[in-house]
Each structure stands twice: as C-alpha cells, then as structure tokens.
Structure 1
C-alpha cells in the first residue's frame, strides 16, 4: 500500500520534476569533443551487510573508472537496483555512503550519475533516493521518470534520453520466485507515466532517441522478456523510431536488435548470471550478443554518440571489450518488415 508521503508526492508534483525541457550543456567539459560519451550500469547495488559491496561491484567500478579515463564519459546512467535487497530506508541511510560514494571514488567517475529505480529499490524508499539528489553533487534523480536533452558538441545533432520507472509502469516482481510483474500498484499513475511517455516520444525531433528503464523488453535470461513492456512500450519504441532501449534487471550483458532498434541489457554491475532459460521466447535472429560468465567479474556498456552514429561497446571488468554495435540516426534507418504481436 502506498504511504501517505508517496501519495502526497504524487499529488504535489504531477509534472514539475518529470523532465528537463532545456538542453544540458556538455561543451565546457572538453573543447575538442564532438561526441557525447557515457556509461550504462545496472543492478550494481552491493549488499545490505558488510562489506556492503560485492567483488563484482568493486571490479566493475574499477574498470568503469579506467574506461571513463581512456574512452571518455560525460555521465553515468544507473538503470536501477541501486541498493540490494530492499533499497534504502531514508535519505540518511548509510547505504548511500558505503555502496555508492565509497565504491565509486575514482576521479573519472566524479561525473553526473542519472538514476532510476529498480524493483529492489521499490522494496524500500524511492523518495529517499530522489531526495538524495540534494545531498550529493553527482547523484541526479529528479523524479521517478524524467527526460534529458543534449546537443552533441560541435554539431547540429541532438540526443534525448527518457528515463522510465518500469516498476510504477508494470508492477513489482519477486526475483526469488522469478515472477513477472503482474500489475502496477496504481493504474492511474501507470497510465499517467505512459501518456507522458507517448507525448515525449511523439514530439521528439532528436537525432538519437534513447529510452531507459529497469525491466527489459527483450531478454533471454532468468527474467526473460517483460510481458507488460512488450504490450505497452515496444509498440511506442517502434512507432516513434527510438534508437535504443537501455535496461538491467537480468544480471548479465546482452544486445538484441529489432527493426533498427537496439536493446541493451547492462545488468552486470554486482552479480553475473549465465542463465539463458528464455532463449526460445526471443524471436530468432534478435540476439546478437550475450555474456553472463562470472569469470569476467561483471561489466557495463560504454556509449558514444556523434553526428553520424551511436556506438555501444560492452566491456568486461577484467579489461577487454566483448562486443560492439553501431546504430544509425533515426532518419537514417528503415524499419524492417517484421510481423509482431
């Protein structure tokens, strides 16, 4: 049941914090830059008991820092399950310090982190994570869902990233029972987010349009494709020619492609899972890359967007790139003629 505070928050802030309508300026950070670069990491949220981090989180954080130094990174997208197993209790929860601030200490990771919540975060106090944005210089979590707009330096091209709360949209799930989310806690709030999303997608003129959430649309691993997102989100991604959908939830790295849209699963920030039980629930040919090998010690995705293309590189914590995918600008690709439900 929603707490009174949550109900007040939803009532008091219907749209004010839902998105940035202005452009976020990256020019000052590198005068010779002509691209936007960022890291995508999910399911990175440590443990609720000492030492509050896992070996995979530590190794992945170290490699994220090295990659940010060598390949460049303007910001990090943290796509949910930020604190295992039940989120945080309030804004003073020590988990902010021991699992986040103390785990990502390198200078190259002292950049903005744009955050959304996962199912484990919703087991705790997501409002406290939103409030923590006022305590940390790099933690940016303005609302459950929001939009960011960027101009690609030294070009006339633009990038939009829409951050979703897929738990509010679809409902929570019990990882230990391998459950699909059955229904949103509030149908009104789920519908409100969906309407907002459709409006943002419909009006977007961005050259690159990314959507990020916690639950996957497509996945071959433990949780598989999310039925709710296949019904509610996938048709919108196709209709409005999104460039890619970025997510976590399954604890591995995956790249799938459908009708010109890239599906990036980057959920290897804290655990690694080799499970491929839902392989047959993904249409043949969609899966391009999968890695759930614990020997890699975790991983993440590095994304670079320039005037001509968007490049996604999957990197393992041991220090090598595993797979690279290239996506075109929205006006440059033609949807394939595929049947879909």
Structure 2
C-alpha cells in the first residue's frame, strides 16, 4: 500500500480543491499582483502572429519601449495569435517564430493573458490552451483578479454561426466545444453569474470578436444578440477585442460601455472603414499599433500607440464613489 508524504498530501488537496472550484463555475481564476502604489498598467495587442512580418517585429519593439517606461504588470492578447491557421501542435515552431523570438524585450517577459481567435481555431486549438510562467489561456472563459479590476476573458469564436454553417475551405477545431448549444449556454450562464457577483471597482471583458466596430468585420451580430445584453445588465466598463485589424475606440450611445479594438499587431487593412457616428467614434486608425491601459481604484487612462511609438489617442475615465465622470483629451 502506497502512502503519501505530508507535502504530497497538501499538493493533492490543493489540486482537488482547484478542480472542485473549476467544476463549480467552469472558469479558472488567476490572481495578478499590482504595484506598491496600488496602480496597474498593461498593454493590449491582437492579430499578431506572423513570424515578425507585416511590422509585427516593429510593433513588438515599441511595446517593449512603452512597457519599460510604464513598468507594465502584464500583456493582454485579443486573439488570432498565429496566422493563417493556428498551430499544428504544442511543439509547433510558430510559438518560437511568432512569439518567443519576437517579444524579447525585458519589459514583455511578464504574464500574457490570451484568448483564441478564429484563425487559432483553424489549427490545434487545444495546443494553445495552456498555463505556464508566461502564457495563460483557457476556455470557455477565465477570470483575472487584479485587486481593483477584474478581467473576464471570453471565448467568442464559438458564438459565430458562419464558422459552423459556412466554413468554406477552413477546418475548425471544435474539440471541447461541441455540443455547441451547451457550451455557449454554460458560458453565458456562468459569465452572468460571475459578473453579477463581482465586487471589483472595474469590470473589463476581453474577447476576440468585435461587438461595436466601424472596421472590416463590423459588429458581430451573434455577440450583439447573445453576449452584449449580459455585459449591459452587469454594467461592465470596457469591452476589449481584436479581429478588425485596426485601432479603435467607440463610446456606445446605447450603454455606458466603452469599446476598444486593438487588432493592429501585424497586418493592417488600410482604408477599410465603415461610416460611424462621429459622436461615438473617438478613434479609428487603419495601421499597426497597440494599446496601453493604466488604472487605479478611481482612474483608467487609455492610450493608443502606432508602430513608431507615437500616441494616437488618449482617453480617461474617473470613478468617485458611485458617480462617474469622463474626460476626453485632444488626440495627439
């Protein structure tokens, strides 16, 4: 008969506890340390994985510079981490050629919290679902707690009907997603519950697909129908996405949600813009770049940078007790 040491018993108990928590709400939970002054800063980049091409390396260089200047805590990826068709397995050279060998700056050797995009689903999607010292990605959603802010990372690709009904020449890896109706129902149920029970000062939802966008893909109808009502009902502050290869900020007239697109990590789509109300469209930039967010308990400061490190747009939101005021800055 085999006996466990006390140390092994503690590890086993902790592992079982985590499994029970995961089974209870289907979402993994992560904790992120903030700075000594209780502030938090992070970068957001999306649609980047092109082995350094289409200015991916140049964007990475500027991210490293700004990341060092701002002493960032982590990086968020809004998906489409590897083009054109994800990765073929956990040992795919793309991990090195598009990630480890590109984002080499010391300031970027922090945790990266990622979601999957539609291009990631065209390869071995499970190979990207891993947790290590730098790469954190999980499904159907996972939660990052950073004291004053709570981040909800949502797997948006399975929401889109076209990928199932009209996949064209593409083959999607739906392992773990089917039956789709159950997957989405459970995701929405538990997202609503965790958002409702969150006591965080700031609630931020991250997904790959757009909800509000003047870009090539425009609004994702399936998310507007199924996800947006939950985000509105739970008074989230920001929805951050990629998918459209641009940098974008929309202040929604129908809700208090600010919509930010950071999909300029590599290939951009010049001139691909639809008309949008000027009162709502605070920024549309059809080039490469990334986003910086700096937060305290009462402030959130947003900046967008281009591939040369120039500031394209600044915006701030202030929270004081139960009242909220906003300030818009002149674009740089």
Task: Give the TM-score normalised by structure 2.
Answer: 0.82
Take 1:222 and 1:42, find their aligned partners in 2: how far apart are those partners? 15
Alignment correspondent of 2:32 = 24
Contact 1:44/1:81, CA 8 A, preserved across alignment: yes
Contact 1:117/1:165, CA 8 A, preserved across alignment: yes
Q: Does 1:327 align with 2:317?
A: yes
Take 2:201 and 2:104, find their aligned partners in 1: how far apart are those partners? 34
Task: Give the TM-score normalised by structure 1.
Answer: 0.79
Residues paired across the two proteins, number = 292
Take 2:262 and 2:235, find their aligned partners in 1: how far apart are those partners? 21
Query: For 2:113, what is the secondary structure of its paired residue?
Result: strand
The equivalences for 1:84-163 within 5 A come to 84-131=83-130, 133-134=131-132, 137-151=133-147, 158-163=148-153
Query: For 2:250, what is the secondary structure of its paired residue?
Result: strand
Instruction: Structure 1: give runs of 5+ residues left out of the alignment.
Output: 1-12, 47-51, 152-157, 178-183, 336-341
Alignment correspondent of 1:303 = 293
Contact 1:272/1:292, CA 8 A, preserved across alignment: yes
Alignment correspondent of 2:234 = 240
Instruction: Structure 2: give runs of 5+ residues left out of the alignment.
Output: 1-21, 169-176, 327-332
Alignment correspondent of 1:180 = none
Return the offset for 1:55.
3.8
Q: Does 1:62 align with 2:61?
A: yes
Contact 2:317/2:325, CA 8 A, preserved across alignment: no
Alignment correspondent of 1:249 = 243
Return the offset for 1:241.
1.0
Take 1:256 and 1:117, find their aligned partners in 2: how far apart are those partners? 23
Query: For 1:237, what is the secondary structure of its paired residue?
Result: helix
CA-atom RMSD in angstroms: 2.4
Take 2:200 and 2:224, find their aligned partners in 1: how far apart are those partners? 24
Q: Does 1:208 align with 2:202?
A: yes
Return the offset for 1:327.
2.2
Return the offset for 1:172.
5.9
Alignment correspondent of 2:71 = 72
For each residue in 1:56-98, what CA deviation from the matched residue of structure 2 results, as whole angstroms up to 9, or x when unmatched? 1101000000000112210000110000011011111111111
Q: 1:24 to 1:305 in 2, by over 3 A?
A: same
For each residue in 1:253-300, what CA deviation from the matched residue of structure 2 results, as whole angstroms up to 9, or x when unmatched? 000012331100000001111344432xx556221111004xxxx100
Q: Structure 1 stretches (4+) deviating beyond 4 angstroms?
A: 13-17, 171-177
